[in-house]
Structure 1
Amino acid sequence: MSLFNKALASIGIGSAQVDTKLEKDKVTPGGEIRGVVHIKGGNTEQKVDEIYLGLNTTYLKESNDRKINVPVVIDRFRLNEPFTIGPGETKEIPFSFVLPLDVPISIGRTKIWVSTALDIKNAVDPSDKDYLHVIPNRLMDAVLNGVEDLGFRLREADCEQAPYRLRKRLPFIQEFEFVPVMGSFRGRLDELELVFFQVSENETEIYMQVDRRARGLGGFLSEALEMDESNIRFTVTSSDIPGLRQKLETIINKYS
């Protein structure tokens, strides 16, 4: 019977089960995630080589003139040394880890989740999947609100393959695309794109692309040659928050 149970466990029937419980699913970049991994033994004794948590998302990548969704592991955390779990035995393994600053926020089609996997030799590895709701931190939220206060509306936010000049640790960037719907920039700009590169919780570098609206023949020629776009890099800190709207307006005005 034991050999039969082992054979079933090797194809995932009657093997150990894993269930991860998070203390909370709402967190900001740089925030701490806490939880417990619950493991229940199957019908036979099994050796678990390791338990690891993966922080995951997907991003859009161009391939053969079309965009495809590509899964990516943002970070990975090993929780334990090898152990053996007996039939029907239960174990609880608490954990905590800090969310990296470059994790994207949960907006639009962007989903972030924690995957839990048990590494068991000669068997189908049990796994679990728990979604996170990653929200902007105080500084990032102030920038996004400041842009909206200037009359822009967020049209789209996606994780896309990073061009070489913007590539850092991860192969993608999260791009926020705004359009002017009111205020002084309506009629002057086509769109405004932002990318955040978090330096710390209190400092972020921003890559901004200002896309000016074509005006007359010269404007249309500039647009055709992609000369109607300006790319700007600047840094904001928490101390900028009280005057952030004015700082953003000054920068956008300079290139619009």
Structure 2
Amino acid sequence: MRDVLSRIGIGSARVDTVLPSSTVRAGESVDAEVHVEGGSTDQDVDAIYFALETEYRTEEGYQEAVVDKWRLTEPFTIEEGEERRFETTIEVPRRTPVTVGSVSVEVETGLDISLAVDPEDEDRIEVRPTERLQAVFDALESLGFSLHSSECSARPGGVFSTSASFVQEFEYRPRGGEFSGDVDEVEVVPVYGDDALTVHLEVDRRGGLLSEAMDVDERHTSFTVTDADPDAIEGPLADAIRDLS
């Protein structure tokens, strides 16, 4: 009877991931320790698995997305009441969304147990921008813009050169400086490559009701970032915004 109950999650093994730090920069890694505690009966565990998860907006609502997934350990048996610990390193890809605005990212840890409900654990982590993206943000701040909102949304087909099902949008608004009064907002969409960061930029100009109704107040461009120097980015970024405003 205990074996039957454990298969539906009652008295089953438990898993818990302990993170020494819940903050990590995209493209880097964080160490973790996985604690597995046996339940009321011996259970065969095929693997410990991880999934890095977020969610994005679609026309139908919000949908879960797996940024990355991987497995830890060979099959093993966790005996009744036994406690085991496993050390691992969680790699956070560059494309992982930055956790600002409404965006959240979680590490899900699970035990793969055949013919049974998989015990799971979820840990929310704080993801900071890559150094190149942070340099873009710093350059925007120097130009008088501040972050207003951010969210992940479904990738429009063929618009961005990425295989991901979603992109993250950052909306900046002028708080002062050269573009105050001329620009409503600047939207930034990063697309990550191995050697560079491609930044897609949309500038929403201040215009009359007619121009806004016709969507002619929005203009687009993109540029490539190869280093993490805000001073080097600020000039080309300002030129791009001027050209579109």
Please classify the TM superposition score into its range, dividing by the shorter chain length: over 0.9
- Aligned match of 2:91 in 98, 105, 108? 98
Which amino acid counterpart does residue 77 of structure 1 have in structure 2?
W
Shift of 1:252: 0.9
Structure 1: segments with no counterpart, 5+ residues? none
CA contact (8 A) 2:94 2:130 kept: no
Equivalent residue, structure 1, for 2:154: 161
Shift of 1:16: 0.6
Equivalent residue, structure 1, for 2:183: 189
Equivalent residue, structure 1, for 2:55: 58
The answer to whether the aligner puts 1:230 opposite 2:223 as a matched pair is: no
Deviations 1:154-206 (A, max 9, x none): 21111111111126222111101112221121121121100111224x73110
CA contact (8 A) 2:29 2:91 kept: yes
Tell me the number of residue pairs that the alignment of Structure 1 and Structure 2 aligns. Answer: 244
After TM superposition, the runs of 4+ consecutive aligned structure 1 residues lying more than 6 A away are: none
Alignment identity in percent?
39
Equivalent residue, structure 2, for 1:49: 46
Equivalent residue, structure 1, for 2:234: 245
Structure 2: segments with no counterpart, 5+ residues? none
Equivalent residue, structure 2, for 1:180: 174
**CA RMSD across the alignment:** 1.6
Q: Quick check: which one's helix share is greater? A: 1
Separation in structure 1 between the aligned mates of residue 48 and residue 229 of structure 2, nearest angstrom: 43
Shift of 1:137: 2.5
Separation in structure 1 between the aligned mates of residue 183 and residue 144 of structure 2, nearest angstrom: 11
Shift of 1:223: 3.0
Deviations 1:217-252 (A, max 9, x none): xxx544332222211010012165333222211211
Separation in structure 1 between the aligned mates of residue 151 and residue 140 of structure 2, nearest angstrom: 17
Which amino acid counterpart does residue 58 of structure 2 have in structure 1?
K
Separation in structure 2 between the aligned mates of residue 53 and residue 239 of structure 1, nearest angstrom: 31
* Greater Rg by CA: 1
